[in-house]
Structure 1
Amino acid sequence: MPKDEKAEQLNFYRRGRTPIFASRMDQRFSWCCYIPSGYDPSAEQVHPLAVLVHGSLRDADILRDEFIDFSENHQCVLLAPLFPAAINDSEDLHNYKHIIYNGIRYDLILLDMIEELAARYRVAKDKVLMHGFSGGAQFAHRFFYLHPDRLRAVSVGAPGTVTLPDDRTTWWVGVKGMEELFDRPFDVEGMRRVAVQLVIGDQDIETWDVTVGPQSPFWLEGINDSGATRVERLRTLEKGLLAIGVEARFDTVPGMSHDGTGIQGPVKAFFSEVLASVPDGGISK
């Protein structure tokens, strides 16, 4: 194959819906993205970036595809990381949700994925939109505590467990010891500058996959005190954020149970409003 033809073929697979690429930082992890049709490699425009964090099923490419309409409407690049289950533990399903697990820092892996993407595409890498549903929401709100400086907005959709912004209880029930564990300060002022959405179906009230039992490796005293259901826990998180001066938009979807696709309407509306508040919809030169 001629050199120019091979280069064109490679470029074809880096437009629109891309394949899943191994992370340059740690090839056990990977990512895919969507590049909107208006992206011009020869132009100087910088496009907004939305990071979409999968739940326990690890359906990263499906989640990305579900936001393609939003991407095209706002010429926003999408990045969907993939954090496989059973890394270093054949029984583990939860690793990334708590940011750190078996010595792996999932926040740093994601930050490097953003840098890797930004090395090839012109994206607003320093201030991203982030949405996570269920397990992805667990990751997203804990990432928010650690890296508010890297977020323009965060959408937290129906997390099974929540970390409250309370320094009287130990991470990951609260934030006591967070700075020592992650070498990151709990930056309340930075958090107040991020647009926050809490979103859930009003029928998301099953408890079988929410209650953490004493036999769980993630058991900590007080972990179930935020409520019996995801709705109750998200309301408790809302109260905790308000207590430290972080205002959050709370959206409920009537009649909806634990369904990530079912809550995406409010998420897209929230992100659209955030981008509308930015000059040129977040696209800059």
Structure 2
Amino acid sequence: MTMHKPDAPTSAFYERGATPFFASQYDQRLHYCLYVPRGLEDAAAPLVVVQHGTSRGAASYRDRLRGFADSHGAVVLAPLFPAGLVDPGDLHNFKFIAYEGIRFDNALLAIVDEVAERFPVAPDRFYLHGFSGGGQFAHRFLYLHPDRLAAVSIGAPGRITQLDDTLPWWLGTRDVEARFGRRIDLEAVRRVPVQMVVGSDDVETWEINNPGESNWMDGAEKTGTTRIERLRTLERNFVAHGIDVTFDVVPGVAHRGSLVLPTVETFFGRLIDATRSITR
């Protein structure tokens, strides 16, 4: 894909710092914004993708990661997958990867490629964090594209997909190849550093125990009642498949994605620093 290069120097100003939202050239219904440190000199800076949840707070997450980006020489990418695509009442489209002909995993990969054409990032592998609905997307994306991830941070998903070929998607992975045209490469998944993160007070259940709604499948209740219990179930499932997990419980925090970000920053920061020390 050939991207238009904005005229310098006026447009170039908006390609550093907190950028505007851009329409994806892959699908202009989908958007993204970035934070690019103004003093960035690295020609292949680490790319940190933060996937919003149901409320679509993409810019808020991006802004909260500015200090991290500055201190680690990283670029932050925040996709925006709007609610109401096709169905005006829909809230959950991206969480389950495919929706009404839209493949949100492929959309994210296309956005990463677009960003790499205009910004000095390393596009081959990126760091992915998502909280709540974003945590749902993050671990399902891991199953399909482990080769593109430098690390993944799975924050407080209300509904989980276990590596279990006896259960249908999205409770399990029985029909992944038929749905997505990709097999799960378990060896590749095992190579991705995984963090699971949740607040110690994340115990409200009204949103995640809702039989009959569009984001419910019977059997979800068997994975636990709270987000903490469900994330522990996912942890046990990962460990049983030989996947190492860093499980972080943030004291005194309820279902607040912004308040777990410092723990995510520590996890990603340590990995970025270690990678840089190896390549020097």
TM range (shorter): over 0.9
- Per the alignment, residue 222 of structure 1 pairs with 219
Q: What's 1:160 paired with?
A: 158
Post-superposition shift, 1:6? 5.7
Checking the alignment, whether the CA contact within 8 Å between 1:156 and 1:198 is kept in structure 2 is yes
State the TM-score, normalizing by the size of structure 2. Answer: 0.95
Whole-angstrom distance in 2 between the partners of 1:278 and 1:196: 16
The one-letter code sitting in structure 2 at the alignment partner of 1:177 is D
Determine whether 1:279 maps to 2:276.
yes
> Which position in structure 2 is the counterpart of 1:212?
210
Query: Does residue 259 of structure 2 align to residue 262 of structure 1?
Result: yes
Query: In the alignment, which of 46, 51, 54 is matched to residue 53 of structure 1?
Result: 51
CA distance 1:260–1:218, change in 2 (3 Å) = closer
Tell me the equivalent position of 2:67: 69
Cα offset, 1:91, TM superposition: 1.1
Shift of 1:53: 0.3
CA distance in 2, matches of 1:247, 1:74: 25
* Higher alpha-carbon deviation: 265-274 or 217-226: 217-226
State the Cα distance separating 1:276 from its structure 2 match: 2.0
1:84 to 82, 94, 100: 82
Report the Cα offset of residue 194 of structure 1: 0.3
CA distance in 1, matches of 2:278, 2:215: 41
Deviation at 1:189, TM superposition (A): 0.2
Percent sequence identity is 47
Judge conservation of contact 1:203–1:257 (CA < 8 Å) in 2: yes
Q: CA offsets per residue over residues 220-258 of structure 1, 9 Å max, x none?
A: 231221100000000000000001100110000111100
Cα distance in structure 1, aligned partners of 2:278 and 2:82: 33
Distance 1:281 1:94 in 2: 40
1:9 aligns with 2:10: yes
Matches within 5 A, 1:148-187: 148-187=146-185
Is the Cα–Cα contact under 8 Å of residues 131 and 155 in structure 1 kept in the other structure?
yes
Counterpart of 1:20, as a letter, is F
> What residue in structure 2 maps to residue 252 of structure 1?
249
In structure 2, the CA distance between the partners of 1:281 and 1:36, relative to structure 1 (3 Å rule), is farther
Q: CA deviation at 1:217?
A: 2.4
Q: Which amino acid aligns with 2:216?
A: W
Please give the residue correspondences for 1:15-26 in structure 2 after superposition, counting only pairs within 5 Å: 15-26=16-27
Q: Within 5 Å, which residues of 2 pair with 1:120-131? A: 120-131=118-129
Q: 1:72 to 1:281 in 2, by over 3 A?
A: farther
| Residues 51-98 of structure 1: per-residue CA shift (max 9 Å, x gap) | 000111111111100001110111001110000001001111110011
Determine the C-alpha separation between the residues in 1 that align with 2:218 and 2:172: 11
- Equivalent positions of 1:236-251 (< 5 A) are 236-251=233-248
What amino acid is aligned across from residue 27 of structure 1 in structure 2?
A: Q
TM-score if structure 1 supplies the norm length? 0.93
Q: How well do the aligned residues superpose, as a CA RMSD in angstroms?
A: 1.5
One-letter amino acid of the structure 2 residue matched with residue 106 of structure 1:
F
SS at match of 2:60: helix
Output the amino acid matched with 1:8.
P
Q: Aligned pair 1:29/2:22, yes or no?
A: no
Secondary structure (helix, strand or coil) at the match of 1:73 reads helix
C-alpha separation in 1, matches of 2:10 and 2:39 = 19
Q: Is the 8 A contact 1:275 1:281 kept in 2?
A: no
1:4-37, Cα deviation, whole Å (9 max, x unpaired): x962110001111100000101111100011113
For residue 94 of structure 1, the aligned residue among 77, 92, 95 is 92
